[in-house]
Amino acid sequence: MEFTIKKITSPEKLQTGILVLGVFTDGKLPPSSRAVDEASQGRLARLIAHGELDAKPGAALLLHGLAGVAAERVLLVSLGQSDSGAPGDKAWRDAFAAAGKALAATPAKDGAIALDGETLPPGRGLDWALRQASRIIADSAYRFDAPRTEKKEKGAKKERGARKIAFALSAATVADRALEDAVRQGQAIAEGMALAKDLGNLGANICTPAHLADAAGALGKQFKFKVDILEREDMEKLGMGAFLAVARGARRSPKFIVMQYHGRHGRGDKAHKDKNADKDKNGRPRPVALVGKGITFDSGGISLKPGAEMDEMKYDMCGAASVIGAFKAIARMELPIDVVGIVPATENMPGSDATRPGDVVRSMSGQTIEILNTDAEGRLILCDALTYAERFKPDCVIDIATLTGACIVALGKIPSGLLANDDALAEELAQCGAAAGDPVWRLPLWEEYQDLLKSNFADMANIGGRFGGAITAAAFLSRFAKAYKWAHLDIAGTAWVSGEAKGSTARPLPLLAEFLLARAAGGEQPH
């Protein structure tokens, strides 16, 4: 999909396959819609007055051959009511999601979207709007290339969807390189999301630990960043007893993937002004480390899961997919920031050599763990990854994991769970999540929860009992993250959707991208 910015004075004269206009359903028309309405002798206003367009933000009405208008089709998208002023973030995104869906389904080869300043959410700038819009529209065009039987039939339907999209801005808009960068950034984030979705949607027989390693390696070659793959023997030498305990029951070999993106070299001193980042002994800001859970299939191990919906356990590597996808996005954007990506990847299977409930293992940190439930495996692979991250002297570490069903019970499937040992980092992530439309909700991580992890036979147990499961899982991880500022994102409820639309969402990649964009810009929050 190709995006451009086009400055116009008369949207009604714009020749395009489909022109998208945002409108308020109480009759108020933004400038672009008003110009088209006047050219069509009030047709838009009459349709809205007669209730042809639902008031709910994101409702859409497609018009063909509108008199007085050069566009072949005009799509009206509801922004809701105007009595409360400009639309909020959600209403605005709902409108663009509807536009993206229509653009992905249209037979038109090109389209244009009229962007009016008065329709932007309060406090949001045009660069934010263009980044979000290009990401949402490009993501709407995503289709998983499922392996199906090929059918070559006469008269087969032609591929639909506009491939060239122009953002039509007022000619009075000041020329700004930042606007072009914003469009490019949105498209890069969508590319990273597409990769994350592809990895998540693949069957676990294809997306194995080795496949994740190959995907990371291919990205490293494409964008020229360093990728190291540690094998079982390397992990044994490092003492990763917790990670290897999970991998014991699987026939496929585990992989420990380490990606290092150095975006500051040759980019001047801008990135060194990052007010959030401490400096290392050479005066360079410390890297951000992203750690993604990579269980490519989770049977539960000896503590076997119920059979219902077990197929969805192929999505237990979505944390890993979001980290790999984020690396594609930041490399495509050429962000001036240093980032380390760590992905411990394995299957969790009930093989003859599988770890048993009651086994005690020693983690890379030296702390011992009594494994009471082998289905609480994510924290076991992550704890060794968090210890490994110390060697990079990170400014902060964010781990991303489909970790607990308890998080879904607590928060549903709207926000991801957020727990952290640093208030400023937690607030930074929350603001970036709000800016990206990828929300998080913070849960407490009080010291009292640590008592639930007591064990008679080791330093800790790997589960904390029936209550507060999302919190005790994070409390477990916090014991391995004392050397740096750390945040944990539990994406068990947000990484994929079930039902008819089953598939990966690529969350929380939009949040991560906004966070890294802000860090690369010197810590300024997106707006």
Q: Which CATH number fits domain 184-520: 3.40.630.10, 3.80.30.20, 3.40.30.10, 3.50.50.60?
A: 3.40.630.10
Q: In the beta sheet, which residues pair with residue 256?
A: 230, 344
Per-residue pLDDT averaged across 143-169, rounded?
A: 79
- When mean pLDDT is compared across 146-150, 178-182, 341-345, 411-415, the lowest value belongs to 146-150
Residue type, 214: D
Q: Mean pLDDT check: name the lowest of 145-159, 172-186, 454-468.
A: 145-159
The percent of residues in the chain predicted with pLDDT above 70, rounded, is: 92
28 catalytic residue (yes or no): no
Annotated catalytic residue, options 101, 305, 362, 442? 305
CA distance linking residue 291 with residue 243, whole number of Å: 14
Selecting among 379, 485, 507, 519, the annotated active-site residue is 379
Confidence of residue 151 (pLDDT cuts 50, 70, 90): low
Length of the chain: 527
Q: What is the pTM of this model?
A: 0.94
Q: Quick one: pLDDT at residue 28?
A: 85
pLDDT in tens, 348-403: 999 999 999 999 999 999 999 999 999 999 999 999 999 999 999 999 999 999 99
Task: Indicate the residue type of 358.
Answer: G
Read off the pLDDT of residues 505-518 as tens digits, 9 standing for 90 and up: 999 999 999 999 99
DSSP 279: B
- Whether the pLDDT of residue 271 is over 50: the answer is no
Structure tokens that stand for 366 in this block: 């030296």
Residue 161 has pLDDT above 90, yes or no: yes
Specify the CATH class of 2-143+162-170 in words.
alpha beta
What is the per-residue pLDDT for 482?
98
User: What is the token pair recorded at 19?
Assistant: 């022109």
Q: Angle at which helices 509-520 and 423-436 pack, to 10 degrees?
A: 110
pLDDT digits (tens, 9 = 90+) for 33-76: 999 999 999 999 999 999 999 999 999 999 999 999 999 999 99
Catalytic residue flag (residue 379):
yes
Sorted by where each begins, the domain ranges of the chain are: 2-143+162-170, 184-520
For residue 159, the model assigns a pLDDT of: 78
- Residue 389 near residue 462 (C-beta atoms within 8 A): no
User: Where do runs of H (alpha helix) occur along 316-370?
Assistant: 318-333
Taking alpha carbons only, the member of 272, 298, 270, 301 closest to residue 285 is: 272
pLDDT confidence tier of residue 152, bands split at 50, 70 and 90 = low
Q: Is 57 helix (H, G, I), strand (E, B) or coil?
A: coil
Q: Residue 523: pLDDT band by 50, 70, 90 thresholds?
A: low
In whole angstroms, give the CA distance from residue 304 to residue 365: 28
Handedness of CA 204, 210, 216, 222 (dihedral sign): negative
